Each structure stands twice: as structure tokens, then as C-alpha cells.
Amino acid sequence: MKKSAIVTLVILALLVSMLPMSTAMAAKPAKVSIFVNNATGGTVALTLVGASGYQNNFSYLPGMSATSLVEGIYSYRASTPCGLKIGKFNLTRNRQLEFFCPKGSTQITLNTVSAGPNHR
């Protein structure tokens, strides 16, 4: 009787281990930081839309700012004093997002940073 109970438990354990992991046990997406350098001379209005459709709206005055987001792919819409820029980026680690207005047009760069702003 003991031997059949042990075999039954082993078989049940194997079957349970083959079941897909529940979403509660799955790893949660990590938070990453975006350090924003607004060098446009005016306010930048930034809208980020994640893969789930959730929308984040931010407003950045000239200078440096920081924001935390969940890692993932984001579409962006940046309205700057020198124009509108639309695009997409993959946010998987800390980044520095820089806004410039060379010759009256909007330029955006997204650089990887290790710790904080200006640490590339």
C-alpha cells in the first residue's frame, strides 16, 4: 500500500510540473528609469503607449527629469517647441531620452545608461 501511494504521488507531481505556470507565478516586468534631457528651450509633452494600450502622459520643462516605467515596447508622440515627432522604442533597461531642436526641427535620441543621467 505504501509503495502504490508513493508511486501515485510521484505521478501526480510529474503531471503538475507539466502544467503551464499560472500568471500569478510568472515573472513580473521590471521597472526601468528614463532620464529625460529636454534641451529644446521649451516644454515637451510626451505621450507613451505600451503594448497593452495603456497610455502615459508626461510634461517636461527644460532640463533634466526622471520617470519610471514598466519595461516593454512603447509608441511615443512628442510635441516640442520645434515640432512633433512620432515613433516607437523598446524599453528594456535604463535610458536617457534627449530632446533637441537643431535648425528648427525636432531631434530625439534614446541612449542606454547604466546608473543615471549622463552615465552611458
Q: Is residue 66 part of a domain?
A: yes
DSSP characters over 55-110 = EEEEEE-SEEEEEEEESEEEEEEEEETTEEEEEEEEE-S-EEEEEE-GGGS-EEEE
Domain that holds residue 56: 27-112
Per-residue pLDDT tens over the stretch 30-45 = 899 989 999 999 999 9
Question: How much is the mean pLDDT over the chain?
Answer: 81
Say how many domains are in the chain. 1
| Domain harbouring 103, CATH code | 2.60.40.4150
For the chain, residues with pLDDT lower than 50 are 23-24, 119-120
Q: Is residue 69 part of a domain?
A: yes
Q: Which pLDDT score is estimated for 36? A: 92
Q: Is residue 85 part of a domain?
A: yes
User: Which pTM was predicted?
Assistant: 0.68
Q: Is residue 2 part of a domain?
A: no
Q: Which pLDDT score is estimated for 111? A: 74
Q: Is residue 58 part of a domain?
A: yes
Of 97, 119, 112, the closest CA to residue 40 belongs to 97
Q: Which pLDDT score is estimated for 38? A: 93
